[in-house]
Structure 1
């Protein structure tokens, strides 16, 4: 298993010092709607990073709606072309499709139509990601943050509807815990599981003594998952806590 942490590229030296295998940054930090000249310095930070940015989250800006009446297909496709190309240039291999604001179903909007729009968006995404060998992992979000794709089984269903090599599934402990989702779903849907996010139940760094996290971790091990796993959480003081959090994870996933 490879261990990473969600952080800004400016924090890469701390991530390296703490011993992580990779850093997980945001797609939006690559500013896909700006010209290459405008983001030259940003891209240089990724090229010069002491730890590789193998994974990216926050795939879409909140105002780039993919569900509802305000979907701008041309803007979405332009964004995907440039964003995933920059992810590849920055060293990324996995992109997390969470983006709750972008995929939120508006009040009164038909659920069936919303699902069709998400499938269409993922088709467009796969058209770009497949030739770049980038994996897109569908992230289930808890119901307080989004009203569609709220469980690992639901994410798996969408991935199977697409049946594209780049479209896979993510399991996030915090979201599963928040909604009381059965951790056994990690095992049941392990075939398409390609990324994992962890935190404590309170969304801080994972640490010993939390029964819910122990149950989640047991199912990750039972699934024989051996891919990338990132800490995605709030920190009191990142510089002081990161190494200890990684050390704990290495004992949980030996």
Structure 2
């Protein structure tokens, strides 16, 4: 199976991304009315399922007012939401749902860090049980310290995920956050069996191919991992023009082809 490339965007960009020949779109889960009217949810799910480009991944797991750790959690609400999230993602055809949600998992100043970890582990454990058999995997995303104070590296995410030890819970690696935290790309190789999804950007969290991120090293590492999952561009803002978008997608396509060639060379014993 070849690596698929996609872009994190709203459904309003689906047609444009389909025309640009991307493999999929990654949409925000929290934009679905999972806590609202069932008819509205059914209508939106139908529109996602009929999208011009497949919705293979979803991000922005938690609504803005949901807390996963700290004194203001609402476990019953979380369980209802998480169950419906897995059900909705499965109906849409998404394979991965990303749990970033830095605000939802930020540990309050007066709260013990270890206690917050246990709360998050409880959330992950519930998802592992409820999503089993849906075909949807939750990818825990490390975020840089400017966005949250809980899980800031791939190694930390793997440490928590390993405690759940269920194939429904895996880890996302984000090139931008790794750069912000000075986490070496070799970490990807170390934890290759845990990584189910990858996000990329470039300098300033702009479109891939526009900055000075070490993409040659990234491509070599991903090839060495034997990674065959999805890679989504997740940028701080939309490219400034259609031409800029197409240039970045061309960069990502060439990146994917180069990773494939590197992996093929390695497997044939000529590396």
TM-score past 0.5 threshold: yes
Q: List aligned pairs for 1:61-210, cutoff 5 A.
A: 61-207=63-209, 210=212
| TM superposition shift of 1:238 | 5.7
| TM superposition shift of 1:147 | 0.3
Q: Distance in 2 between matches of 1:14 and 1:77?
A: 35
Between the two proteins, the alignment pairs up a number of residues equal to 254
Q: Distance in 1 between matches of 2:110 and 2:248?
A: 43
Q: Which secondary structure state, in structure 2, belongs to the residue aligned with residue 131 of structure 1? A: coil
| TM superposition shift of 1:50 | 1.1
| TM superposition shift of 1:216 | 2.7
2:230 match: 228
Q: Which secondary structure state, in structure 2, belongs to the residue aligned with residue 155 of structure 1? A: helix
Q: Distance in 2 between matches of 1:238 and 1:34?
A: 35
Q: Which secondary structure state, in structure 1, belongs to the residue aligned with residue 238 of structure 2? A: coil
2:240 match: 237
Q: TM-score, normalised by structure 2?
A: 0.90
| TM superposition shift of 1:44 | 2.7
- What are structure 1's unaligned runs of at least 5 residues? none
1:252 match: 255
1:152–1:185 contact (8 Å) kept in structure 2: yes
What stretches of structure 1 move > 6 A for 4+ residues in a row? none
- State which drifts further: 81-90 or 112-121: 81-90
Q: Distance in 1 between matches of 2:79 and 2:239?
A: 38
1:212 match: 214
| TM superposition shift of 1:131 | 2.3
Q: TM-score, normalised by structure 1?
A: 0.95
Q: Distance in 2 between matches of 1:164 and 1:17?
A: 37
Q: Which secondary structure state, in structure 1, belongs to the residue aligned with residue 172 of structure 2? A: strand
